[in-house]
Amino acid sequence: MDLIVAGHAGQGLQVISRTLAWMLVRAGYYVFLSQDVMSRIRGGHNFARLRVGTEPVYADGDAAQVLVALDPALVERHIPHLAPDAVVVTDAAGTLPEGVNAVRLPFADLAREPVMVNAVAVGASLALVGLDPAGLGEIFSGQFRGKGEEVVRRNVAAAEAGFRAVVEGGKGCCPPKLAGGVPGERVLISGAEALALGAIAAGVRVVTGYPMSPATPIVEYCFRHAQEAGLIVEQTEDEVSAANLAIGAAFAGARSMVCTAGGGFCLMNEALSLAGMTETPLVLCVGMRPGPATGMATRTEQADLLFSIYAGHGEFPRAVLTPADAEQAFHAAQDAFRIAEKYQTPVIILFDQFMADALWTVERSRLRSGVASPSTLVPDSAAIKPYSYRRYEVTESGVSPMVLPGTAQQLVYADSDEHTEEGHIAESAAIRLLMVNKRNAKLAGIRRELAVPKVEAEVKAEAEVKARVKVEVKVEAEGEEKAETLVFCFGSSRGVVSEALKRLRAKGLNAAMVHLNHIWPFPVDAVAGLVGKEKRALTVEQNYSGQLAQLLLQECGVRAAGTVRRFDGRQFTVAEVEAGLEEMMR
């Protein structure tokens, strides 16, 4: 079942959509909740889509059975998104287009107070999908934490009024009621929250950022839980400072993370290069929204892939991770810290706005802490002769043992200039060669962090693959092995592509998906092996120039036979990916 909740900014759409989603998850359903939000504080037209299923759902649906519109004027523009039998819940005042199957409720009367209109809408929606409003109090208590019990009570009363109004007066136009939910230990979490939580689970200590969509929710989550998690969270004067402060903290031994979007990441490029040169472990969460420049602040794109891979002046190793959903985001944070520390270099978690702002239903058991990540920190610096520590000691792996400043009888010199093994400024050609080779030798090790991809025979099996705490499989190939076409994607396109391929298979068109979760260093051998000589590669990506297709060609010599692209700031729909792929496969 699909639902749409529409209204103006400032009308409490988040409360409606999140509460509904929460009720559904508690009732045993899997919910996928995505937001379409304008960059404004009041007014405009915002909406949320809820996809509800008895099995995991990872993408928006094509046609909703329920539309909750706080303003009837918003109904018309959603008619293309509605199923023929859809029910519209909206205010009694105002006119509706012809032929709409509507439940008209006097929102203001039922609410008693204007701020309670959203609670009325929650109650009305529950009645339409056939869920008991008992339990709402608990959810409202969580949402209105700190506003007092009276506020919770009045919201529950308003919701019950909305529920009753539909039950008593709206009979005969309800959509099929939900059935088959099996309650389990599941969480409903946004991609941004999962990223933050993954970082906390990985033992992050210092988080910095400058407010910018879509990274702000990550920093805000950390601020909210700073006390209990023991975090230092700093909103700096700009992104330059955010990145440098995190680097300073990492140099002094704190796991550090900086959060930004593409534009802010531009400002951080110098610091990214600094982390590479000084060999400082740093995790950067970079959210993609449509650019260039300010672009579209609250919308989605995947156009910073090549930028992230090449960002920063000079040559230094890095990893770029592109999680598909909340569960992968949680693990991406842990993988990022593990790789950053093991190889003493920056790791970028490149996520799209859609992934970060959407809410995903995740089995709780899959979100475990992997904090015991290997560290190159010298366990006993007493084993090193006093005052002889060399921060950039040349080793075969390129990774030097790490001693922190403040260690007794050792001094640590880190330098952004080319430097000696001791960390002092150097201009000798011989030292330069030694250090360039040392730093870039780490790339081979980082590459080994990527495991050999597997072709999954069944999409469902992915759950098992993802269940691993230690993330081994970085390239997931979904679909049947005999598929002659491989569809490559990264980031949040995974759910959409997976579903589109399922539909194509039903039409006899066989293609398998390869979702690149850990995209850099590019898994050259694995991808080249999967494509081989016979198979055809297609890409699905949200950018203009086909950046993943470019990588395939450049890294593996694989020329994609076609790319399905979208770059209007909106997430792909399953139908359009299906249509795009079908055209290329026929």
Partner 1 sequence: MRIAAERTLAEEWAVPKDVDVAWCPGCGNFGIREAVKLALSELGLKPEQSCFVSGIGQAAKAPHYIRCNLFNGLHGRTLPVAAGVKLANPGLVVLAEGGDGDGYAEGGNHFLHALRRNVNMTYLVHDNQIYGLTKGQTSPTSEPGMKTRTTPCGAIEPAFRPLALAVMMDAGFVARGFCARPRQLADIIKLAVQHRGFSLVEILQNCVSFNHVNTAKWYSHRIYDLADEKHDPTDRDKAYHKALEWGDRIPVGVIYRSGRKSYDELLGETLGPRLSDPDRIPDLLDELLGQFQ
* Sheet (strand 536-541) strand order: 454-456, 475-478, 511-516, 485-490, 536-541, 562-565
| 100, 128, 187, 512: residue in contact with partner 1 (rule CB under 8 A) | 187
* Sequence-separated (6 or more) residues with CB below 8 Å from residue 37: 9, 46, 298, 357
Sites for partner 1 among residues 362-421 (CB under 8 A): 364, 367-369, 371, 387, 404-417
Length of the chain: 586
Q: Which of 357, 298, 302 is nearest to 33 (CA)?
A: 357
* CA dihedral sign, ordered 332, 334, 335, 341: positive
Choosing from 63, 226, 441, 553, the residue that interacts with partner 1 (CB under 8 A) is: 226
Q: Are 41 and 9 in contact (CB under 8 A)?
A: yes
Decide: 252 and 297 in contact? Cβ < 8 Å: no
In the complex, minimum distance from the CB of residue 425 to partner 1, in angstroms, rounded to a whole number: 6
Select the residue interacting with partner 1 from 55, 150, 185, 380 (CB under 8 A): 185
Q: How far is the CB of 249 from partner 1 (least distance, A)?
A: 4
- Report in angstroms how near the CB of residue 221 gets to partner 1 at its nearest: 9
Contact 546, 563 (CB under 8 A): yes
- With respect to partner 1, which residue has the nearer C-beta, 333 or 551? 333
Q: How far is the CB of 77 from partner 1 (least distance, A)?
A: 32
Site string for partner 1, 190-209 (x = CB under 8 A): ---x---x--xx-x-xx-x-
Provide the residue type at 395 as one letter.
Answer: T
Shortest distance, position 374 Cβ to partner 1, whole Å: 14
Shortest distance in whole angstroms from residue 371 CB to partner 1: 5
127 binds partner 1 (CB under 8 A): no
Alpha-carbon span 229 to 316, nearest angstrom: 32
10 vs 184, beta carbon nearer partner 1: 184
Q: Does the footprint of partner 1 cover residue 470 (CB under 8 A)?
A: no
* 440 close to 316: Cβ distance less than 8 angstroms: yes
Q: Report, in Å, the least distance between residue 561 CB and partner 1.
A: 41
For partner 1, the closer CB: 26 or 164:
26
- The C-alpha atoms of residue 323 and residue 340 are separated, in whole angstroms, by 17
* Cα 149 to Cα 168: distance, rounded to the nearest angstrom: 28
Task: Report if residue 348 touches partner 1, rule: CB under 8 A.
Answer: no
Q: Does 230 bind partner 1 (CB under 8 A)?
A: yes
User: Does residue number 316 form part of the binding site for partner 1 (CB under 8 A)?
Assistant: no
* Nearer CB in complex with partner 1: 194/556: 194
- Which residue, 168 or 427, is less far from partner 1 as judged by CB? 427
From first CA to last CA, the distance across the chain in angstroms is 31
Please, which residues have CB within 8 angstroms of residue 63's CB and are 6 or more apart in sequence? 2, 81, 82, 83, 86
Burial class (CB in 10 A: 0-12, 13-18, 19+), 448: exposed
In the complex, least distance from residue 383 CB atom to partner 1, rounded to whole angstroms: 16
Residue closer to partner 1 by CB (options 261, 274) is 274
Residue 135 interacts with partner 1 (CB under 8 A)? no
Which amino acid type is present at position 513?
M
- The rounded radius of gyration (Å) of the Cα atoms in the chain is 25
Q: Which is nearer to partner 1, 162 or 423 (CB)?
A: 423
Question: Is residue 196 a contact partner of residue 218, using CB atoms and an 8 Å limit?
Answer: yes
Count, residues near partner 1 per rule CB under 8 A: 70
Find the binder of partner 1 among 249, 257, 309, 527 (CB under 8 A): 249
Q: Which is nearer to partner 1, 95 or 227 (CB)?
A: 227
Per CB under 8 A, 458 contacts partner 1 = no
Which residues, at least 6 apart from 583, have a Cβ–Cβ distance to it below 8 Å?
Answer: none
**Distance in Å, CB of 252 to partner 1, minimum:** 4
Q: For residues 487 and 480, give the distance between their C-alpha atoms in angstroms, rounded to a whole number.
A: 12
Backbone angles phi, psi at 485, to 5 degrees: -120, 130
- How many C-beta atoms surround the C-beta of residue 401 within 10 A? 17
Q: Is 100 in the site for partner 1 (CB under 8 A)?
A: no
Closest distance of CB 208 from partner 1, Å: 8
Residue 71 beta carbon to partner 1: minimum distance, rounded to whole angstroms: 30
Pick the closest to residue 166 from 154, 179, 175 (CA basis). 175
The burial class, CB within 10 Å (0-12 / 13-18 / 19+), for 109 is: exposed
Smallest gap, in angstroms, from Cβ of residue 278 to partner 1? 7
Residue placing its CB nearer to partner 1 in the complex, 92 or 404? 404
Given the rule CB under 8 A, which residues bind partner 1?
25-26, 142, 185-189, 193, 197, 200-201, 203, 205-206, 208, 225-232, 234, 236-238, 240-242, 244-254, 256, 270-271, 274, 278, 364, 367-369, 371, 387, 404-417, 423-425
